[in-house]
Amino acid sequence: MMKGARALVGWCCRSELLSERPLTILLRPRSSETLGARCPNTSRFRARPASRHGDCRYKRAPARAVRPLTRNRISRRLVRLLAQSMNILASFLLLYTREEEAFWLLVTVCERMLPDYFDRRVIGAQVDCSVFEELIRELLPHLAERVPDLTALSSLSLSWFLALFLSSVPFRSGLRVLDCFFCHGAKIIFHLGLAVLKSNVEDICTSADDGQSLMILTRRRQRRGGDLVCWTSALNQTTGLLASAYEVRAGGNDSDAYVQRRICKFNERACSAEVRRPDGRAAGKEEIEAQDPGALGPRGYGERERDGARSCRDEGYRHDRV
C-alpha cells in the first residue's frame, strides 16, 4: 500500500495536483449530501447541519463515505486529488468498496481508464468531447445536419464524461453505468452519450434554440427528487439507454449480447425489488407506481447483484459488498 501510495503521490506531483486546494472537496460533505439527496433511505449519507451556522454549512462529516478518508495520511493525500467531479465517483466507490479498494480503483480510473481527465485543465475530457462531437457527426448525421453547431451538446457531454453520468442519472442507474464502465472501459460512456442523444433526436431537432435542446437533455435530472414514478421511469430509461448503448457498438460479440441481456434482466429485477410488499414479496409494476417514494434506496443492491458481480470480478471491480 505504501509503495503504491508513493507512486500515486509522485503521479499527482507530476500532474500538479498536490498544489490544489487541500482537503476540501470530499471533506466538505457536499458530494455525499448530494448522494443522500438521491437515495433518501440511506442514513449513512445524511449530513447534520452544524449548530453554529445552521444555514448552509454542514460541519459534521456524514459518516462512512467521508470518515475513512480522513483517518490516515495516505488518505489525506488521496483526498487532495479529488478535484472536480472525482468526488462523485469517489463517494460511489466508497459505498461499495473498502477504503483501499476505492483508492486503487481511483488510481485505475485516473491513470489507465480516463487518463488526463482529472488534471488541472481537464484536457482528457475536453479531447473526448471533441471526439464525441466527431462521433455525433459520423453516427447521427441527421442530428448533426439539423444542429450544425454542436458546442452546446459538447458542453453537456463534458459533465457527462467527467462525472461518468453519475450526476445526471438517478443513483441506482449510476451504479449500473459504473458497472458497465468498469467492465468495458471508457468507450461505454461514449455509447451511452450517443444513446441518450439518439433517443432524444426528434426533440432536439425540433427545438427552437440550443438552450431548449439542452433543457430536453437535462430534464431527467431536473425531475430528481420527485415522485417514485419518475424515479422508476428514469431508471427504466437509463437501463434502456444502456441496452441501446450496446446496440450502438458496431460488431458486438457474444459477451456484449450477454451484457445486454443482463441489463434487461436488471431492469426487470430492479423495478420489482425497488418496492416490496409488506409480506416481503416483490411488488408488481403497478404497485411500484402506487407506493410511496420513501421505499427507494440502494440497500439490498449487494444481494441482488451478486451473480452479476461475479462476471465483473475478473476485472478487479468488486461491488458485492454493502
Partner 1 sequence: MAYAYLFKYIIIGDTGVGKSCLLLQFTDKRFQPVHDLTIGVEFGARMITIDGKQIKLQIWDTAGQESFRSITRSYYRGAAGALLVYDITRRDTFNHLTTWLEDARQHSNSNMVIMLIGNKSDLESRREVKKEEGEAFAREHGLIFMETSAKTASNVEEAFINTAKEIYEKIQEGVFDINNEANGIKIGPQHAATNSTLAGGQGGQQAGGGCC
Q: Which is nearer to partner 1, 123 or 322 (CB)?
A: 123
Q: Which residues pair with 282 in a beta bridge?
A: 276
Length in residues, the chain: 322
- In the complex, which residues of this chain contact partner 1 (CB under 8 A)? 25, 30, 33-34, 37, 47, 55-56, 58, 83-85, 87, 119-123, 126-127, 129-130, 133, 147-152, 154-156, 158-159, 162-163, 167, 208-212, 214-215, 218
Q: Which is nearer to partner 1, 165 or 301 (CB)?
A: 165
Q: How far is the CB of 215 from partner 1 (least distance, A)?
A: 7
Q: What's the rounded Cα separation, in Å, for the pair 34 and 167?
A: 9
Q: How far is the CB of 184 from partner 1 (least distance, A)?
A: 23
Question: How many other CB atoms are there within 10 angstroms of residue 109's CB atom?
Answer: 21
Residues 6+ apart with CB under 8 A from 195: 241, 242, 244, 245, 247, 248
In the block, cell 444513446 appears at 195
Q: How far is the CB of 47 from partner 1 (least distance, A)?
A: 7
Q: Which residues pair with 136 in a beta bridge?
A: none
Q: Which is nearer to partner 1, 163 or 178 (CB)?
A: 163
Q: How far is the CB of 163 from partner 1 (least distance, A)?
A: 6
Question: How many other CB atoms are there within 10 angstroms of residue 297's CB atom?
Answer: 16
Q: Which is nearer to partner 1, 43 or 212 (CB)?
A: 212
Q: Which of 257, 251, 245, 291 is nearest to 272 (CA)?
A: 291
Q: What's the rounded Cα separation, in Å, for the pair 312 and 322?
A: 16
Measured at the CA of 286, the angle between CA 281 and CA 287, to 5 degrees, comes to 45
Q: Which is nearer to partner 1, 82 or 312 (CB)?
A: 82
Q: How far is the CB of 46 from partner 1 (least distance, A)?
A: 11
Q: How far is the CB of 118 from partner 1 (least distance, A)?
A: 9
Give the largest CA-CA distance in the chain: 59
Q: What's the rounded Cα separation, in Å, for the pair 279 and 282?
A: 9
Q: How far is the CB of 33 from partner 1 (least distance, A)?
A: 5
Q: Which is nearer to partner 1, 25 or 178 (CB)?
A: 25
Q: Which is nearer to partner 1, 153 or 270 (CB)?
A: 153
